[in-house]
């Protein structure tokens, strides 16, 4: 299958090698006989809600977020329509913040977001930096851990009743106090985890790919497991670093 991926603002929102997540999706799709077709969706580009199976957006400093915020807000209707139609989305850090209602940055400026995720973010004085480990249950009964790296000033507040991506084992996560990280609405996942995220968490890469295929084919495939020895090592090294950090926050 040709999996249609829209990469939002690849030239503005791409720190900590976040674009590496696309490379992982591309390889893991190819190893299963699928082809990833990646299209850049940038400033001034319109979003056709029916043109993509997966939308991806990486992280960025306040300066880059300030440059793209008004443009992603204009894309808000189309992005919300895409999410409602079952398009999968993966958003990292600054991109995650801009999928919410707004990000109030360190200068106090309120940067509008796309309003896809039920959350808002306010920058604090102290940056939240370090290795993170969380436990997720994206599929009922399937508990998995996610390991990555966070570096953000933003404190993200989920609306009441909103679903977090996971429960923190170690790290600051959304706001340094709630004990949760990220947000998930159906096939849309937002997280603070850089690294890049997917090389050390191949199960999430496969989950995202399966959701993208489900958008096109109606049903999520069950992939044959790949060896993933190196990925498992990378995960356990990152998880050990996060645990060594000791508890939450």
Rounded to a whole number of angstroms, the minimum distance from the CB of residue 123 to ligand GLN is 6
* 3-state SS class at 231: helix
Report which of 142, 56, 128 is spatially closest to residue 92, judged by C-alpha positions.
56
Helix (H) or strand (E) holding 79: helix 76-84
Which is closer to ligand GLN, CB of 164 or CB of 220?
A: 164
Q: What is the DSSP string of 169-230?
A: EEB-TTTSSSSEE-EEETTEEEE--BSSTGGG-HHHHHHHHHHHHHHHHSS---PPPP--HH
Rounded to a whole number of angstroms, the minimum distance from the CB of residue 175 to ligand GLN is 11
Query: For residue 189, what are the β-bridge partners?
Result: 90, 184
- Can you tell me the distance from the alpha carbon of 32 to that of 195, in angstroms, rounded to the nearest whole number? 24
Which is closer to ligand GLN, CB of 114 or CB of 209?
A: 114
| Residue 183 appears among annotated catalytic residues | no
Rounded to a whole number of angstroms, the minimum distance from the CB of residue 130 to ligand GLN is 12
Rounded to a whole number of angstroms, the minimum distance from the CB of residue 92 to ligand GLN is 7
Candidate list 52, 194, 215, 235, residue with the active-site label = 194
Helix (H) or strand (E) holding 242: helix 229-245
Pick left, alpha or beta for residue 226 (phi over 0 → left; psi -120 to 50 → alpha; otherwise beta).
Answer: beta
Q: Looking at the chain, which runs of residues are DSSP E strands?
A: 2-8, 35-41, 54-57, 88-92, 102-104, 110-112, 119-139, 142-158, 166-170, 180-181, 183-185, 188-191
Rounded to a whole number of angstroms, the minimum distance from the CB of residue 98 to ligand GLN is 9
Candidate list 93, 136, 183, 235, residue with the active-site label = 93
Which is closer to ligand GLN, CB of 61 or CB of 178?
A: 61
| Residue 93 appears among annotated catalytic residues | yes
Which is closer to ligand GLN, CB of 22 or CB of 93?
A: 93
Return residues touching ligand GLN (CB under 6 A).
15, 59-62, 65, 93-94, 97, 123, 151-154
Query: For residue 41, what are the β-bridge partners?
Result: 8
Which is closer to ligand GLN, CB of 72 or CB of 93?
A: 93
Residue nearest to ligand GLN (CB): 59
Catalytically active residues are: 93, 194
């Amino acid at each position: 299958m040709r999996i249609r991926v829209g990469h939002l603002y690849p030239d503005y929102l791409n720190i900590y090698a976040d674009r590496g997540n696309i490379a992982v999706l591309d390889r893991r799709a190819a190893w299963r006989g699928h082809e990833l077709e990646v299209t850049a969706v940038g400033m001034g580009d319109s979003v056709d809600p029916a043109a993509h199976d997966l939308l991806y957006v990486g992280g960025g400093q306040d300066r880059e977020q300030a440059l793209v915020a008004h443009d992603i807000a204009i894309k808000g209707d189309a992005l919300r329509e895409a999410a409602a139609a079952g398009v999968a989305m993966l958003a990292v850090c600054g991109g995650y913040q801009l999928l919410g209602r707004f990000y109030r940055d360190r200068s106090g400026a309120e940067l509008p977001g796309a309003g896809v995720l039920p959350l808002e973010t306010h920058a604090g004085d102290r940056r939240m930096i370090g290795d993170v480990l969380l436990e997720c249950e994206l599929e009922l009964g399937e508990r998995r851990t996610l390991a990555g790296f966070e570096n953000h000033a933003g404190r993200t507040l989920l609306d009441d009743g909103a679903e977090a991506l996971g429960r923190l084992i170690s790290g600051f996560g959304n706001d340094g106090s709630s004990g949760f990280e990220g947000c998930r609405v159906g096939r849309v996942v937002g997280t603070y985890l850089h690294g890049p995220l997917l090389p050390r968490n191949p199960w999430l890469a496969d989950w995202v790919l399966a959701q993208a295929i489900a958008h096109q084919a109606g049903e999520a495939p069950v992939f044959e497991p790949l060896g993933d020895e190196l990925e498992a090592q990378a995960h356990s090294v990152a998880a050990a670093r996060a645990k060594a950090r000791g508890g939450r926050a």
